[in-house]
């Protein structure tokens, strides 16, 4: 029996027997509002370098309050080794093994001002049994000088920091990128500096291995030296710098090489070539290999209409074995015939209803943490032994929601009125007749560079399943400006938020109506963040009578509020985004594209939902719209919650939101389609 065949048989037998990776079947009741509101219990799984331990974050409820811990399990028996409770209101946001006993993690904190945890900027190190806990970085001046902090923390500037990888051979060290805060205030303040350090997680010793005089850059490290630095300037133009050694100056790669997009991934094991993602012409991003200076570019994997979104690698020395494009259901291009390509191929053939990838891998490649997702499964994890081809189920992200309870997310492509080819998904209500369905348009947030995907995982796509289980078809189009199609497609969305993007949504609705899925007399728009903006503005833009209602969650009604009060304006990247996308430097554009200026055209009932402590889209947006609608005598319903930020986080608040939403939709859109006999 071939390796592919033996792995496929072993994998399928193991997981199907365990009831994991199950396919959908008829007859299950819909998940409850509480099921959709409930947070995952486990998250951020990380495999130790020797493959003997799995670390996960744990979320629990104790007397109605959130409780968090870092848990370590022995493999493969899943025997608990430790459960390290975080201090009150703190939680692990990222988990990284630096050797077989020690981990580093970033932390978040719930505050009295927001239910959504906010990153603290603290970087901690701890042994897997809870010993030798150390604070390695913090932007908080008091913590930097505290007893529990390593003295070497003062060798790094105050700013925002993120864990940026580990050496190829685990040695207790990790890389930390620091984005310093500006030394002065003001709307245009910039630090003009990004640094990366090699940090010993035990001693706390710090070695700077790279810095560049630009804000917000990322680095590629090879053999302990930062060899590439890349990022965007204030005009959102991409730049890439290279150096041959630590003592050499940075040299910018020419525009003829970088083109519209070039994002380095890693240097080849022989140190002579660069693997990268990008497309100099601005089309869908490709996986490429080139000389270190970017010359001699060769395409290893490409898709004509979707960017390469992910790459699967062998253990060290790392070489790519597969590239993934999100063209409807993820499309996999296998590179060569290595053992790891065969394993990945066999797993995906064994579970055709899922997309399977490598979430993590032991240092020697003998143990692989496998992740499987689908349009009805937000994530199932399993452990694959490469010696025996045994696949052992570990856990599901949302075990209380079953695949058979959810709807199919059917990909579609069509030619829009602009002439562009657009793609998206229609989520069909489970166990209903797929014809003349009440329909909801659900735009994703962002909007630039974000996209809807086939596998449920994002907030937007899980909301689509909530609505589908209530009997509504949900249309989601990746309108111009969305990610996953290349730089040209993203740039096509600039200053099109209230015009071109709106038309793309209406074109997608028209497609669904022409296919017979949607009832043109029963349509609503529903979204959050930019999707909330669309829920306010599509009723203004669309021909009267197109929509029956709107549900706007954390949505922008007045671009002026964003320019003056949003936390987006506090960073260089945020200000660039507000200028390029929202046109905040053009008063005429702002007035033409703010729903608050067009209440006279807003003629559908709207459910307004907003967190009272939203820093991204301040609640003033909702309050101003409520006042304007009330003055104009137009119907609306209004829901806010204190201590909630950009979207509700507290489970009970989301249960309340779901219940209000269902009543609102039944009142104005009508009941969802009934379950078929």
Are 39 and 415 within 8 A, CB to CB?
A: no
pLDDT over threshold 50, residue 651? yes
Give 173: exposed, middle or buried? Use CB within 10 Å, 0-12, 13-18, 19+. Answer: buried
The tens digit of pLDDT for each residue in 259-279 reads 999 999 999 999 999 999 999
**Quick one: pLDDT at residue 529?**
94
DSSP string covering 3-18: HHHHHHHHHHHHHHHT
**Quick one: pLDDT at residue 1?**
31
Instruction: Return d(Cα 488, Cα 469) in angstroms, integer.
Output: 36
Block residue for tokens 């006042």: 627
Instruction: Return d(Cα 309, Cα 294) in angstroms, integer.
Output: 20
User: What pTM value is reported for the model?
Assistant: 0.92
**Quick one: pLDDT at residue 114?**
55
Q: What percent of the chain has pLDDT over 70?
A: 94
Instruction: Return d(Cα 204, Cα 173) in angstroms, integer.
Output: 9
Rg over alpha carbons for the chain, rounded to the nearest Å, is 25
**Quick one: pLDDT at residue 429?**
98
**Quick one: pLDDT at residue 3?**
29
Q: Torsions phi, psi of 622, nearest 5? A: -70, -40
Which has more confidence, 354 or 568? 354
The tens digit of pLDDT for each residue in 496-554 reads 999 999 999 999 999 999 999 999 999 999 999 999 999 999 999 999 999 999 999 99
Band of pLDDT at residue 18, cut at 50, 70 and 90: very low
Instruction: Return d(Cα 673, Cα 670) in angstroms, integer.
Output: 9
Block residue for tokens 């549900």: 551
**Quick one: pLDDT at residue 251?**
97
Task: Quote the crossing angle between the two packed helices 3-17 and 339-350, to the nearest 10°.
Answer: 40
**Helix or strand run (H / E) with residue 560:** helix 559-565
Q: Which of 12-16, 454-458, 588-592 has the lowest mean pLDDT?
A: 12-16
Beta-strand pair 308-313/518-528: unpaired
Closest CA to 446 of 532, 527, 505, 530: 530
Q: What percent of the chain has pLDDT over 90?
A: 77
Q: Which domains does the chain have, with CATH numbers?
A: 406-668 (3.40.50.1820)
Instruction: Return d(Cα 289, Cα 269) in angstroms, integer.
Output: 12
Q: Helix and strand tally (H, E) in the chain?
A: 14, 35
pLDDT over threshold 90, residue 639? yes
pLDDT over threshold 60, residue 284? yes
Mean pLDDT of the chain: 91
Q: What is the mean pLDDT of the segment spanning 645-649?
A: 90
Instruction: Return d(Cα 23, Cα 19) in angstroms, integer.
Output: 9
Tell me the torsion sign for CA atoms 204, 208, 214, 218.
Answer: negative
Band of pLDDT at residue 8, cut at 50, 70 and 90: very low
**Quick one: pLDDT at residue 516?**
98
Residue 60: strand pairing partners: 67
The tens digit of pLDDT for each residue in 227-260 reads 999 998 877 889 999 999 999 999 999 999 999 9
**Quick one: pLDDT at residue 20?**
53
The tens digit of pLDDT for each residue in 66-99 reads 889 999 999 988 899 999 888 777 889 889 999 9
**Quick one: pLDDT at residue 562?**
86
Give 99: exposed, middle or buried? Use CB within 10 Å, 0-12, 13-18, 19+. Answer: buried
Interacting residues of 376 by C-beta distance below 8 A, sequence separation 6+: 24, 403, 404, 405, 406, 407, 408, 409, 456, 465
Residue 232: half-sphere exposure toward Cβ, Cα within 13 Å: 13
pLDDT over threshold 50, residue 6? no
Band of pLDDT at residue 150, cut at 50, 70 and 90: confident
Q: What is the mean pLDDT of the segment spanning 129-155?
A: 85
pLDDT over threshold 50, residue 14? no
Q: What is the mean pLDDT of the segment spanning 417-444?
A: 98
Tokens found for residue 490: 């993203």
Q: What is the mean pLDDT of the segment spanning 446-469?
A: 94
**Quick one: pLDDT at residue 11?**
38
C-alpha distances in Å from residue 353, one per residue of 9, 376, 455, 484, 572? 16, 9, 11, 22, 42
Secondary structure percentages of the chain, helix, strand, coil, to 5: 25, 35, 40
Band of pLDDT at residue 185, cut at 50, 70 and 90: low
Instruction: Return d(Cα 456, Cα 21) in angstroms, integer.
Output: 14
**Quick one: pLDDT at residue 145?**
79
Band of pLDDT at residue 290, cut at 50, 70 and 90: very high
The tens digit of pLDDT for each residue in 557-613 reads 999 998 888 887 777 777 777 887 788 889 999 999 999 999 999 999 999 999 999
**Quick one: pLDDT at residue 148?**
67
The tens digit of pLDDT for each residue in 363-407 reads 999 999 999 999 999 999 999 999 999 999 999 999 999 999 999
Neighbours of 100 (CB within 10 A): 16
pLDDT over threshold 70, residue 223? yes
pLDDT over threshold 60, residue 665? yes
Q: Torsions phi, psi of 192, nearest 5? A: 55, 45
Instruction: Return d(Cα 372, Cα 353) in angstroms, integer.
Output: 10
């Amino acid at each position: 029996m071939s390796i592919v065949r033996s792995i496929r048989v072993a994998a399928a037998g193991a997981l199907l027997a365990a009831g994991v990776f199950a396919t959908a079947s008829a007859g299950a009741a819909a998940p409850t509002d509480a099921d959709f509101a409930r947070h995952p219990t486990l998250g951020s799984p990380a495999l130790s370098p020797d493959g003997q331990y799995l670390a996960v974050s744990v979320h629990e409820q104790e007397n109605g309050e959130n409780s968090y811990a870092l848990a370590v399990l022995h493999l493969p028996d899943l025997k608990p080794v430790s459960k390290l409770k975080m201090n009150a209101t703190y939680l692990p946001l990222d988990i990284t093994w630096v050797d077989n006993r020690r981990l580093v993690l970033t932390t978040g904190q719930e505050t009295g001002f927001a239910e959504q945890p906010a990153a603290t900027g603290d970087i901690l190190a701890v042994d897997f049994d809870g010993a030798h806990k150390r604070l390695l970085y913090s932007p908080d001046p008091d913590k930097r000088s505290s007893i529990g902090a390593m003295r070497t923390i003062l060798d790094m500037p105050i700013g925002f920091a993120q864990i940026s990888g580990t050496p190829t051979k685990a040695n207790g060290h990790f890389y930390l990128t620091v984005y310093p805060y500006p030394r002065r205030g003001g709307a245009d303040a910039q630090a003009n500096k990004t640094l990366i350090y090699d940090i010993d997680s035990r001693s706390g010793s710090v070695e700077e291995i790279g810095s560049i005089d630009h804000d917000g850059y990322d680095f590629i490290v090879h053999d302990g030296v930062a060899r590439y630095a890349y990022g965007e300037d204030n005009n959102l133009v991409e730049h890439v710098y290279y150096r041959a050694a630590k003592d050499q100056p940075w040299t910018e790669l020419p525009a003829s090489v970088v083109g519209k997009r070039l994002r380095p991934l890693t240097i080849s094991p022989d140190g002579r070539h660069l693997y990268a993602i990008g497309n100099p012409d601005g089309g869908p991003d490709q996986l490429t290999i080139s000389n270190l200076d970017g010359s001699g570019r060769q395409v290893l994997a490409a898709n004509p209409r979707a960017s390469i979104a992910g790459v699967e690698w062998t253990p060290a020395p790392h070489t790519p074995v597969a590239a993934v494009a999100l063209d409807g259901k993820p499309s996999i291009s296998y590179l060569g015939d290595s053992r790891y390509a065969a394993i990945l191929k066999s797993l995906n053939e064994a579970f055709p209803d899922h997309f399977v990838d490598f979430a993590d891998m032991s240092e020697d490649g003998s143990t692989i943490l496998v992740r499987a997702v689908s349009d009805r499964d937000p994530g199932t994890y399993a452990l694959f032994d490469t010696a025996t081809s045994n696949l052992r189920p570990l856990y599901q992200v949302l075990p209380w929601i079953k695949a058979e309870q959810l709807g199919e997310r059917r990909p579609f492509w069509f030619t829009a009125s602009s002439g562009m080819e657009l793609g998206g998904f229609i989520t069909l209500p489970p166990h209903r007749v797929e014809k003349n369905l009440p329909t909801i348009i659900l735009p994703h947030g962002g909007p630039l560079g974000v996209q809807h995907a086939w596998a449920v995982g994002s907030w937007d796509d899980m909301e689509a399943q909530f609505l589908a289980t209530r009997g509504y078809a949900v249309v989601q189009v990746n309108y111009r400006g969305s990610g996953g199609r290349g730089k040209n497609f993203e740039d096509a969305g600039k200053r099109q938020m209230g015009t071109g993007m709106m038309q793309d949504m209406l074109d997608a609705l028209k497609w669904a109506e022409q296919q017979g899925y949607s009832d043109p007399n029963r349509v609503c728009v529903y979204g959050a963040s930019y999707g909330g903006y669309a829920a306010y503005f599509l009723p203004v833009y669309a021909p009267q009578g197109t929509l029956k209602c709107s549900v706007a969650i954390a949505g922008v009604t007045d671009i002026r509020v964003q320019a003056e009060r949003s936390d987006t304006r506090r960073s260089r990247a945020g200000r660039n985004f507000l200028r390029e996308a929202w046109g905040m430097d053009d008063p005429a554009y702002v007035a033409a594209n703010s729903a608050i200026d067009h209440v006279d055209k807003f003629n559908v009932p709207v459910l307004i939902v907003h967190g009272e402590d939203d820093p991204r889209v301040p609640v003033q947006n909702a309050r101003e719209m409520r006042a304007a609608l009330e003055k104009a005598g137009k119907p609306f319903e209004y829901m806010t919650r204190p201590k909630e930020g950009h979207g509700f986080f507290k489970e009970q608040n989301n249960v309340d939101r779901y219940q209000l939403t269902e009543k609102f939709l039944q009142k104005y859109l009508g009941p969802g389609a009934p379950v078929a006999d």
